[in-house]
Amino acid sequence: MTAIILHQWEISPFCQKVARALRFKGLPFEAIDYNGLLATRVMGLSKVGKVPVLDIDGLRLQDSTRICRYLDEHYPLPPLFPQEPQQRAQVELWEDWADETLYWFEVYFRVKDADAFAQAVALAAAGRPAIERLPTRLTVKAMLGLQLYAQGLGRQSREDVEAEFLRHLDRIESVLEAGDWLVGKRQTIADIAVGSQLLEVLRTSDRMRPELLTRPRLAAWLERL
């Protein structure tokens, strides 16, 4: 069996997306967390300087979407991406929406909610000396805060952001009326990508958790994931 190593930031939904894809395919792997000040070593893992990074078959891959496509090409069963062209297009649209749009709502709730941010910092510093908690807190706050402001969501009112997020949840709830999964009759990368964002909100945001759990089809879908 090929040794697979996932270099990750444990609270990153993109790293969790790759971890879930590996488990979905039944591929055992070792996860290396870059918590606390170890995060400074991430820049040396790849040219992009971000995680997730996956070591597999003598290759080093970065970017969650690229990694998942590689897994499907080299470990095709069970498939993350459908073969049928229309379903594959739908799945890829869901994945891109999760990565490029839904992600920023997860960041917003993580940064703007004091309790959620405290939980995120605790996770980001897990396993590291207590002295690293403060620099981790300051780094995460500055990094995510600047990104959120530049993206634009950070300049909107809480009321507007929350209202738009709830509309997204209602849309997912409506889609799930047709079946157990977002596209077709089986779990795909669409479910894993969207779910990885929402499960981080569920894990850290006391404010948004009830909204996820009171939508019955959405809550049941998250449980399946």
Q: Which domains are assigned to the chain?
A: 5-74 (3.40.30.10), 85-224 (1.20.1050.10)
- In the chain, the percentage of residues whose pLDDT exceeds 90 is 75
Per DSSP, 26 falls in state T
Per DSSP, 83 falls in state S
Half-sphere exposure of 109 (CA within 13 A, CB side): 26
Residue 163 burial class via C-beta count within 10 angstroms: exposed 0-12, middle 13-18, buried 19 and up: exposed
Q: Flag whether pLDDT at 1 surpasses 70.
A: no
pLDDT tens across 56-105, in order?
988 999 999 999 999 999 999 999 999 999 999 999 999 999 999 999 99
pTM tops 0.85: yes
pLDDT tens across 29-52, in order?
999 999 877 878 888 888 878 899
Residues 225 and 213: their CA atoms lie apart, in Å, by 14
pLDDT tens across 165-195, in order?
999 999 999 999 999 999 999 999 999 999 9
**62 φ, ψ to 5°?**
-130, 160
Per the prediction, the chain carries an average pLDDT of 93
pLDDT of residue 141: 87
pLDDT tens across 136-160, in order?
888 888 888 899 999 999 999 999 9
When pLDDT is cut at 50, 70 and 90, the band that residue 116 belongs to is confident
Peptide bond preceding 52: is omega within 30 degrees of 0, i.e. cis?
yes
- The C-alpha angle with vertex 140 and arms to 134 and 146, in degrees rounded to 5, equals 135
Please name the helix (run of DSSP H) or strand (run of DSSP E) that holds residue 121, with its range, or none.
helix 114-124
